[in-house]
Chains A and B, each alone.
Chain A
Amino acid sequence: AQTVTQSQPEMSVQEAETVTLSCTYDTSENNYYLFWYKQPPSRQMILVIRQEAYKQQNATENRFSVNFQKAAKSFSLKISDSQLGDTAMYFCAFMKLTYNNNDMRFGAGTRLTVKP
């Protein structure tokens, strides 16, 4: 079974600074996807960034980037130039890459607060 661990229940960062959220996972699979989802107070789940395990290059989406270490099974999220709107719960998630896949596993989340 796959498990996802987020060891930081809460974090805070000053506006315009950089913050890194940690995520580790446990799997015996070789092909999979990793995700970071953002959940603001509105409760809507928003995809922030996605990484395919077969790609060595770290994914980047504007101010969001990941540090994917496959051997270490680590998938951290770096938010640069933090903005007040980045305040939210952030969930790391894992999904196997198989046909008819049906299960995405989520970590417990990290609550990020961006301070003005």
Chain B
Amino acid sequence: NAGVTQTPKFRILKIGQSMTLQCAQDMNHNYMYWYRQDPGMGLKLIYYSVGAGITDKGEVPNGYNVSRSTTEDFPLRLELAAPSQTSVYFCASTPNGVTNEKLFFGSGTQLSVL
């Protein structure tokens, strides 16, 4: 059982470039999340999805976009990379909103924008 899989693990971007961080889960979870973790800080919610076709903004959505065409996949898109987006990105999932008591995390993507 793979759980939550994130790719790539590391990436370096130049300012203005775009990229997509991939996230897939094989647990048939409805809820999926993208967090960013800045050095020395806790995680902050970027976007989340409560099911296929439904997405919504979290605490820090600016500069990012997401889509949820399937239950399994929840990619995060950076259109014009900026140095402020240098961070570690975590994808997470959980079964549903009622028993939403444990997040299953991926292993993270370390992104540097230079």
Contact = CB atoms under 8 A, between A and B. Distances in A.
A60 B59 CA distance: 31
Nearest to B101: A33
Contact of B42 (A4, A100, A102): A4
B42 A109 contact: yes
Interface in A85-101: 91, 93, 95, 98-101
Nearest to B110: A43
Contacts of A16: none
Interface residues of B, number: 25
Given A43-B88, A45-B90, A108-B41, A102 B103 contact: no
Nearest to B9: A43
A50 B101 contact: yes
Given A43-B108, A95-B100, A102 B43 contact: no
Contacts of B50: 100, 102
B12 interface: no
A47 B100 CA distance: 13
A4 to B, nearest CB: 7
Nearest to B40: A108
Contacts of A99: 97-98
A33 B94 CA distance: 14
Contact of A101 (B44, B88, B100): B100
A109 B108 CA distance: 17
A107 B41 CA distance: 7
In order of increasing CB-CB distance, the 6 nearest A-B pairs are A106-B42, A45-B105, A100-B97, A43-B108, A106-B43, A102-B48
14 contacts: A9-B40, A33-B101, A43-B107, A45-B92, A50-B102, A52-B101, A95-B100, A98-B97, A102-B31, A102-B45, A103-B45, A104-B33, A104-B45, A109-B40
